[in-house]
A and B are shown apart, each in its own frame.
Chain A
Amino acid sequence: MTYALTRLPDAQLEPLRRAYADAIAAKRRQTTLGGAILVAVIVISAYTAEVQLGTLFKNIGDFFNYFIRLFIFDSGSQAGRPAWTDFAEWFWGLREWLSLLFDTILIAYLATLAGSVCAFFACFLAARNLGPNPLLRGVIKRLFELCRTVPEIVFALIFVVAFGLGPVPGVLAIAIHTIGANGKLFTEVVENIDMKPVEGAIAAGGTWAESIRFAVLPQVLSSFASYALLRFEINVRGASVMGFVGAGGIGQDLIEAIRKFYYTDVSAILLLVMVTVFLIDTGTQQLRHFLLGRDESR
């Protein structure tokens, strides 16, 4: 069976065609304008950021060479041989590096714990549904924002001046960042709880603190733990570069190796960091799945 396509007479079709052409032209004008603005912004930014494509193309070989050189001994009796032919020589500083890595993990752990505990106590005051005082709530939310926005390395730089070199400023810097990041997430979790248990606790004569302990905590604790573990993963990465500014951990040895062109040391330390980060990511992921799974089975 065939359908006869009705075709509008040209007189009626003409305005429709024109409208279509106009719409296409308008869309095209808009795209061209957007493209022109984008190109202008790119050119200005490229000028500001001193982009030198010539240098990049001339030296791009150095970039790939760098990674090749990372895995070849350049001095000593083994000079010129690939690093994996002699693990003892490649990982000569293994004992010290492992100890520094352990420090790095502890920095991340302590900072995550301290930051999450502070965020935990502050988040109930900052949450829209539980906060006792709107003014206090606003102040705490702004504080969270401030802690989050200033990068942790900046805090570390200032704390190194105040507390001296070593892991202490690193822990404090990461802890402050953790307060900001987890404070926001915790507050959001608390704002999304079911309020019925809270009403129940209040109706049975419970105080504010009691209602939080018995009506809110059971709902939020596993999400809190999951966010804290996620933050721990992020903080391990953060702690591994704290040493760049003298705030403890493996970063100190890493930046020294990079600056002094100890190529095989760089690759050895980077590999150790990558393996550690991978192991911690896998471990915490398992824990988080367990926590969230337990939450859903309720």
Chain B
Amino acid sequence: MSDGSRDAVIRSAAIRNSALADIAGLRARHPSVFSPGMGGRTVGFLVMAVVVGLLVIAVVRLDFSLVRMLSGIGELGRIVGHMIPPVPHSLPQAMLYLHALAETVAIAFLGTLCGAVLAIPLALMAARNTTINWVVQFFARRSSDTIRSIDQLIWALIWVNVVGLGPFAGLLAVMTSDIGNLSKLFSEAIETADRKPVEGVISTGGTKALAIRFGIMPQVLPVIASQVLYFFESNTRSSTIIGIVGAGGIGLHLAEQIRTLEFQAVAFIILLILAAVMAIDFVSGLLRQSITGKAQLTH
């Protein structure tokens, strides 16, 4: 230890000792530090009471019991035991799962792409600075809100009714829920775009369409691209489960293997999903970095 730091330690010990020696005086001079006011305590106590009260209601109402938890955990341990080693029954089965995984990635990719393409016009109609009039803006916003409030799995069920079972329904479900989510994010990006390039285009005699094309689009495209990539990642995750309702992809096999208690195959499928998600995250991370890197250079 160097002399300087030893000095510091000695000094801090000295401060500490003098503070401890005068603890009663400190207490008298700074009462709020030693005992927080009644107001703060009451609020804290009330919050805790509400949190714990709801907890008790939830535990009772949702039928949690110690016996059930313990037997469930035991059962879970057995299931995990059955998962090892995580290999499928046969090679054809493994190939089937790989094909389903490719289907899942295709659903996520095309769903995100179609959703993004359709979200751009909706976002332009919903953004304050590019909309046509307030009626259009109102309806664009409300339809985006409505689409967003319905879960992707429910969209999948609805599309299965329209185009039948299979990955195409899953693609349409991913697309639909992305239209809602992305149009909101896009319209926010458009609203925060700098006005000056737009004014420049208008001042040289450009139309509103030209102002959007050359004034706003160059500003928002990098943001849009990076958001689309982010949604591609998250859709890869969600499209692994869309098959549970019959809309294609690996989810169908996963649900089937769990229901028939084939836990080795289940573990294999989960590992496949994890590998695919990590690979996609990596690739889209690289792409996003190159996009945002470029955007920073042009500024």
Is B110 in the interface zone, CB < 8 Å from A? yes
Q: Name 7 extra pairs, CB < 8 A, besides A106-B57, A164-B68, A171-B62.
A: A45-B106, A49-B171, A66-B158, A106-B54, A113-B51, A163-B69, A163-B76
Q: A49-B106, A103-B61, A168-B72 in contact; A56/B163 too (CB < 8 A)?
A: yes
Residue in contact with B63 in the complex, picked from A146, A166, A241, A244, CB distance below 8 Å = A166
What residues on B are CB-neighbors of A273 within 8 Å?
A: 149
Mark A168-204 against chain B: 1 for CB-CB distance below 8 A, else 0: 1001000000000000000000000000000000011
The answer to whether B168 and A55 have CB atoms under 8 Å apart is yes
Is A205 in the interface zone, CB < 8 Å from B? yes
Q: Which residues of B contact A (CB under 8 A)?
A: 12, 16, 19, 51, 54-55, 57-59, 61-64, 68-69, 72-73, 75-76, 79, 102-103, 105-107, 109-110, 113, 146, 149-151, 153-154, 157-159, 161-164, 166-168, 170-172, 237-238, 240-241, 244-245, 248, 254-255, 258-259, 261, 266, 270, 273-274, 277-278
Residue in contact with B245 in the complex, picked from A157, A167, A240, A244, CB distance below 8 Å = A244
Roughly how many angstroms separate A286 CA and B158 CA in the complex, as a whole number? Answer: 33
The answer to whether A60 and B240 have CB atoms under 8 Å apart is no
The answer to whether A50 and B248 have CB atoms under 8 Å apart is yes
Q: A66-B161, A150-B274 in contact; A103/B62 too (CB < 8 A)?
A: yes
Q: A48-B103, A203-B12 in contact; A168/B151 too (CB < 8 A)?
A: no
* A241 vs chain B, min Cβ distance (A): 5
The answer to whether B157 and A153 have CB atoms under 8 Å apart is no
From B62, B170, B255, name the one whose CB has the most chain A CB atoms within 10 angstroms: B62
From A146, A161, A166, A258, name the one whose CB has the most chain B CB atoms within 10 angstroms: A161
The answer to whether B167 and A154 have CB atoms under 8 Å apart is no
Residue in contact with A204 in the complex, picked from B12, B63, B277, CB distance below 8 Å = B12
The answer to whether B109 and A45 have CB atoms under 8 Å apart is yes
Is A109 in the interface zone, CB < 8 Å from B? yes
What residues on B are CB-neighbors of A106 within 8 Å?
A: 54, 57-58, 61-62
The answer to whether B63 and A167 have CB atoms under 8 Å apart is yes
Closest residue of chain B to A146 (Cβ to Cβ) is B274
What residues on B are CB-neighbors of A248 within 8 Å?
A: 62
The answer to whether B68 and A51 have CB atoms under 8 Å apart is no
Roughly how many angstroms separate A113 CA and B52 CA in the complex, as a whole number? Answer: 10
The answer to whether A254 and B154 have CB atoms under 8 Å apart is yes
What residues on A are CB-neighbors of B73 within 8 Å?
A: 162
Is A230 in the interface zone, CB < 8 Å from B? no
